[in-house]
């Protein structure tokens, strides 16, 4: 399943639709967002092949539920949400914690390079190493553009719990990058 390359449901549906069909524009809309969705899924799953499967399945689900998308301006956030849920389903089902090529090679990479691009490289590795409970809200916020309240709704957490996770995510990245982490906040996720 992971390594298969099924035909794109969006593309194949698109082929069946004529240009005059208004639903063809939905296909085009979804397809135009595939690169963004793939990047988001890739950072979530940390595995290219798995990310492609997640996006494929997500687009299929989106197509089946296309009638619920009333506002096309909200399509990106809607699709990102579907991708996140598809990843969560897969994560829960298989308890996947993949050791990607990047991680296998990580021990060969300098901890901190001197040039700016090297710093970014260190940061990318650090983001990859973030536990999913920190990486997920960070990606939703930075890549998805979701507000704290929106992330809270999506993850079934309180807004304070989301802020705490995001604070800790950035604090971990500071530590990974050789900066001194800020004192941890005492706000509890469970209590908030």
Residues that bind other proteins (CB under 8 A): 38-39, 42-43, 46, 48, 51, 95, 97, 99-102, 104-105, 108-109, 119-121, 123-125, 127-129, 131-132, 138-139, 141-143, 148, 160, 162-168, 170-175, 177, 179, 181-191
> Least distance in Å: CB of 55 to other proteins?
12
> Least distance in Å: CB of 26 to other proteins?
25
> What H or E segment, with its residue span, contains residue 183?
none
Q: Name which of 17 and 128 has its Cβ closer to other proteins.
A: 128
> Least distance in Å: CB of 16 to other proteins?
30
The rounded radius of gyration (Å) of the Cα atoms in the chain is: 19
Q: Name which of 60 and 132 has its Cβ closer to other proteins.
A: 132
Cβ-based neighbours of 22, under 8 Å, separated by 6 or more: none
Q: Name which of 2 and 124 has its Cβ closer to other proteins.
A: 124
> Least distance in Å: CB of 177 to other proteins?
8
User: What are the angstrom distances between the C-alpha of 184 and each of 133, 138, 171?
Assistant: 16, 17, 8
145: left (phi over 0), alpha (psi -120 to 50) or beta: left
CA distance linking residue 190 with residue 192, whole number of Å: 6
Cβ-based neighbours of 57, under 8 Å, separated by 6 or more: 86
The token pair at 18 is: 């004529």
Q: Name which of 27 and 171 has its Cβ closer to other proteins.
A: 171
Q: Name which of 27 and 141 has its Cβ closer to other proteins.
A: 141
> Least distance in Å: CB of 41 to other proteins?
9
């Amino acid at each position: 399943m992971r390594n298969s390359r099924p035909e794109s449901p969006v593309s194949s549906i698109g082929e069946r639709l004529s240009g005059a069909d208004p639903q063809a524009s939905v296909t085009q809309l979804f397809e135009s967002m595939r690169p963004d969705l793939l990047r988001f899924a890739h950072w979530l799953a940390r595995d290219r092949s798995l990310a492609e499967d997640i996006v494929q399945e997500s687009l299929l689900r989106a197509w089946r539920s296309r009638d619920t998308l009333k506002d096309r301006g909200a399509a990106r956030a809607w699709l990102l949400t579907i991708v996140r849920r598809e990843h969560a389903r897969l994560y829960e089902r298989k308890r996947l914690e993949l050791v990607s090529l990047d991680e296998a090679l990580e021990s060969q990479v300098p901890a901190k390079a001197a040039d700016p691009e090297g710093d970014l490289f260190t940061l990318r590795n650090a983001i990859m190493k973030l536990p999913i409970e920190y990486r997920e809200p960070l990606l939703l916020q930075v890549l998805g553009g979701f507000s704290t309240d929106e992330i809270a709704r999506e993850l079934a957490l309180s807004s304070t719990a989301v802020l705490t996770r995001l604070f800790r995510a950035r604090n971990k990245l500071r530590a990974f990058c050789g900066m001194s982490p800020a004192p941890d906040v005492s706000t509890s996720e469970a209590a908030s």
